[in-house]
Every structure is written in C-alpha cells, then in structure tokens.
Amino acid sequence: MKPILLEPTDVLFFRDGRPMSGSLAGHGAAWPLPHVISHAFHAALHRADLSGVHAHRRGRSGSYEDTRDRKFGSLTTVGPFPVCTHGEAHTWFFPRPLDAVTDSPILHPVASSKDASSLPAPLKYTVGSAVPPNKAELCRWWSEGAWNTYLGTGQRDALAARPFFKSDADFAATEHNCGIGLSAETGTVEEGKFYSASYLRLKNDWKLGVAATAPDKDYRDTQGDSDLVSALIHGHGGHILVGGQQRVCSAMRDDSVAQRLPLPLGKSDDFHTANNRHLVKWVLLTPAIFPKINDHPGGWLPSWIKQANGEVMLLDGPGENAARRRGLPPGKPIAATLVAAVTGKSLPVTGWALPNGTDREQGGAKSTHLAVPAGSIYYFECADAASAATLANALNWHGTTAGTAIKNRRSTLMGEKGFGLGVCGTWNFHACSGGL
C-alpha cells in the first residue's frame, strides 16, 4: 500500500444526506469519509481503461455466476487525512482521541459499581474527567508525532516529530455559493428552484493524504508491477475526480515516507495492570460500522464483542474454516473483556448508486449506516500479559509489525474502504478509584 497525496485544483464538495434547498447549505464542506475516496479511486480505475485486468464473477463462495463482469475488487484504501507538505518532511494529521486534550489522557474509567449508573450492557465502568470542565476550544487534529507521544510509542518511531495540534481552520476554509436547480430529465433549469452550498478549500501546503493499493493477478505494467494504483497514477495522467460535482485532484506518491505507512503506531506490550488485570485501550483512527446482526445490537458496540458479558470474540489464530483450508489448528478466544467506552456522535454513511442498465442494479439511494466516529475509545481488561499482547496485535492496524500493509480493519462493514483502523494504548483507573 502506497501513501498518495491528492492536491485539489479548486474547491471540493463533500455533501452528506441533508437537504440543499432554500437556505440549507447541505454541509458540503465536511471532511470526507473514507468511502468517498475509495469510490473516487474505483471510478478512476474504470475510466483508465486498463487492459489485461482480472475480471471477477458475481456471487459468493459456492454460488458464483458464470459471467465475469466485475473489476477492481482488490482495491483497498485508507484515508483521507490532512497532510502538511511544508518542508521536506510531510506531517500527517489524524482525528483527536476523545479522552485527551493534549498528548495526555484526561478521561479515565472509574472503578465503581455498575448498579449506580445507567450504563448499557456490557459496560462495567463509567468514565470520569481528571480536570474541571471548561469552554476551551479543542484542536480536532493531531499529528502523527502527537499520537505516538499519547500512545507511548514515540521513542520507537523515527518519523515522530514534536507534537502538533490543528483545528479545521488551520488548513481549510469554507466557501458558500448559490446555484440554480436543474431538471434530471431535461437537463435544463427547473423553474423556482435554487440551492445554496458550502465548499471546502484547502490552504497552501496542505493536501489530502490517502493510501491505496489494487494488486491484480493478471495485470503487469512495463516494469512488471501488478499494482493498478501505480499504473493509474504514473501512466494515466495522475488525476482523480473526488467527491460531488467531480472536482479534479492531482495525485502523486508521497516519497517522503518509504519504510511504512505514516500512521500512528499502537502499543503491543508493557500495559498497565490493576487487580491482576492488564489494561488495554483501542482508539479508532477512522470511523467504524457495526450493524445489527441477529441478536447483536451493533451501533456503538463492535460486532466482535458479546453484549451479555463484554467478552472479545476475536481469536488468537485462524477461524475454523480458514484453519481447515490451511491445515492449521483453529484459534482460541482471546481472554479479554470490554469494560468501558467513550464514543462520539454517530456519523451517517450513505451514498447514491448510478444505474448500469441491468435489472440487478437500477441505481438509487444506498442503505444508510451509522458509524462510530474516529477518536472513539474502547477499554479492555485482559487476563494476563500474553492475552493483552494478543489483543493488541489483533486490533492494531499494523498487527505485530509496522510496514506498508494494513493487517487489521475491525469495522464489520467497509473495512476495505478504510473503516475500522485503530491503535492500542494503555490506561489507568481514575484517581478517585481508591488507588487501583
């Protein structure tokens, strides 16, 4: 997976599902969600008309159709994130963790009886602040170096610079424009219809940072590379249409980062302990979607955590079917339990599908999902040090070692589009918890 910088040639338009009529601006200047960038790369690959690309069949394992008319199913993306390109070393920024103001946490779980609260199952502890409340405006974005300092991994990171904290106004401005409504049938002005819209304009030395790859088993370029994203950037103009109104962005490799992806590193050992339990927290770098599945409610609660008791359902090895295919013993459940959480306001994730002329895909509005926002935190208690390390390696985006590959995407839906990336740290109980 390669880091890529997108530089818009003009303003960008990223609207949500809210109306854009009369005085309503539609929130078109919001920072784009991961699936927007994924769709942009997917559409760009189709427009590039690459030859010799592998075609996939529709359906699922055991019930595939004969026709091969699906392409670029191997595309995976991450981002976008704000990137400051001033100077030789580029600085990537990520959403602030919700338990911190600077690079130290101020929110901590409070060891108290659940009977004294209205916490939903399976949470055990409330979360309390260690500082008095105030009205100071918080910086929404942290640099990679600030994140590594917060997680306690900065000493192992040669790329970690001194901490930086930025707000939206530091790298982007919002512009407002009015327009006229057009008839979808005739393409002409629709009488009495107008709209107002807000647009996102990045400031100088700021770009959209993404990472993308699309390995194809049938494709090879002149250098023998099988990655379609490389072919897209180097051999087909290096331009990608992003967001609403098809705004043009130039795409270029970020060669300032070569050894690994410029994402924060999570801890994998040296976790705090209390009551003979090892304390691990998982912080989302990107939003995650957990839908309702049978009796599991989803929503803020990850699909891989039991609602009844908070037990983690992730395994320390391959699942039963994967183990059978590989001839390996199946993995065992990780001895860890969810005990507390801090989540932000849910984000609506939706879209619009264009018709392709078949009965199967007539187009129209896509299903709307509610995503847990980036910066949300889940607190776990683990039975021992080995279980804590195994849980961290299963939740960190980089797994056991950091490189150029995304090992773990813990969103139940749209993980390939960049949802569900997170990093692990450690936590302590609140000071009022009796010195635990």
pLDDT at 436 over 60: no
pLDDT bin (cut points 50, 70, 90) of residue 159 is very low
Confidence at residue 59, expressed as pLDDT on a 0 to 100 scale: 62
Whether the CA torsion 74, 78, 84, 89 is positive or negative: it is: negative
Q: Spell out the residues 6+ positions from residue 116 whose beta carbon is closer than 8 angstroms to its own.
A: none
CA 84, distance to chain mean position in Å, is 19
Domain termination site, one of 240, 261, 282: 261
- Burial (CB count within 10 angstroms: exposed 0-12, middle 13-18, buried 19+), residue 212: buried
Element (H or E) spanning 149, and its range?
Answer: helix 144-151
Confidence at residue 156, expressed as pLDDT on a 0 to 100 scale: 41
Work out the angle at residue 3's Cα, subtended by the Cα atoms of residues 171 and 200, and round it to the nearest 5 degrees.
25
- 276 and 225 together in one domain: no
Domains of the chain: total: 2
Tens of pLDDT, residues 61-99: 556 666 666 777 788 999 899 998 887 678 899 999 998
Whether the CA torsion 236, 414, 78, 261 is positive or negative: it is: negative
Instruction: Check which CATH number belongs to the domain holding 278 and give it.
Output: 2.60.40.4350
pLDDT at 424 over 90: yes
Residue range 187-197: mean pLDDT, rounded: 72
Domain termination site, one of 261, 293, 326: 261
Give CA–CA dist 330/107, Å, rounded: 38
- 361 and 347 together in one domain: yes
Give CA–CA dist 283/420, Å, rounded: 10
At 237, which amino acid appears?
G
- 224 and 289 together in one domain: no
At 25, which amino acid appears?
A
- 289 and 189 together in one domain: no
Residue range 113-127: mean pLDDT, rounded: 77
27 is written with which tokens? 């929130």
- 109 and 182 together in one domain: no
Residue range 364-369: mean pLDDT, rounded: 79
- 227 and 303 together in one domain: no
| Residue 264: cis peptide before it, omega within 30 degrees of 0 | no
For residues 368 and 383, is the Cβ–Cβ distance under 8 A?
no
Mean model confidence pLDDT for the chain: 82
Q: Of 367 and 301, which is predicted with more confidence? A: 301
* Letter string b/e over residues 278-310, b meaning 16 or more CB atoms within 10 A of that residue's CB: bbbbbbbbbbbbbeeeeebebbbbbbbbbeeeb
Q: Spell out the residues 6+ positions from residue 37 whose beta carbon is closer than 8 angstroms to its own.
A: 77, 79, 80, 208, 210, 212, 242, 418
419 is written with which tokens? 């949802």
What distance, in Å, lies between the first and last C-alpha atoms of the chain?
42
Whether the CA torsion 423, 424, 425, 428 is positive or negative: it is: positive
- 296 and 392 together in one domain: yes
Confidence at residue 104, expressed as pLDDT on a 0 to 100 scale: 76
Range of the structural domain that residue 329 is part of: 102-137+266-436
- 175 and 277 together in one domain: no
- 236 and 112 together in one domain: no
Tens of pLDDT, residues 7-37: 888 888 777 666 666 555 556 677 889 998 8
Give CA–CA dist 209/261, Å, rounded: 11
- 218 and 92 together in one domain: yes
Give CA–CA dist 24/21, Å, rounded: 6
pLDDT at 253 over 60: yes
Tens of pLDDT, residues 211-249: 988 888 777 666 657 777 887 887 555 788 887 777 888
Task: Give, in order, the Cα–Cα distances in Å from 355 to each of 202, 226, 361.
Answer: 32, 30, 6
**DSSP, residue by residue, 18-75:** S--STT--TTTBSPPPHHHHHHHHHHHHHHHT-SS--EEESS-TT---S-EEEE-TT-
115 is written with which tokens? 């009977």
- Burial (CB count within 10 angstroms: exposed 0-12, middle 13-18, buried 19+), residue 370: middle
Q: Spell out the residues 6+ positions from residue 21 whose beta carbon is closer than 8 angstroms to its own.
A: 193, 195
- 213 and 274 together in one domain: no
Residue range 127-152: mean pLDDT, rounded: 85
Confidence at residue 22, expressed as pLDDT on a 0 to 100 scale: 55
- 224 and 296 together in one domain: no
Domain termination site, one of 223, 242, 261: 261
For residues 388 and 382, is the Cβ–Cβ distance under 8 A?
yes
CA 20, distance to chain mean position in Å, is 27
| DSSP single-letter state for residue 311 | B
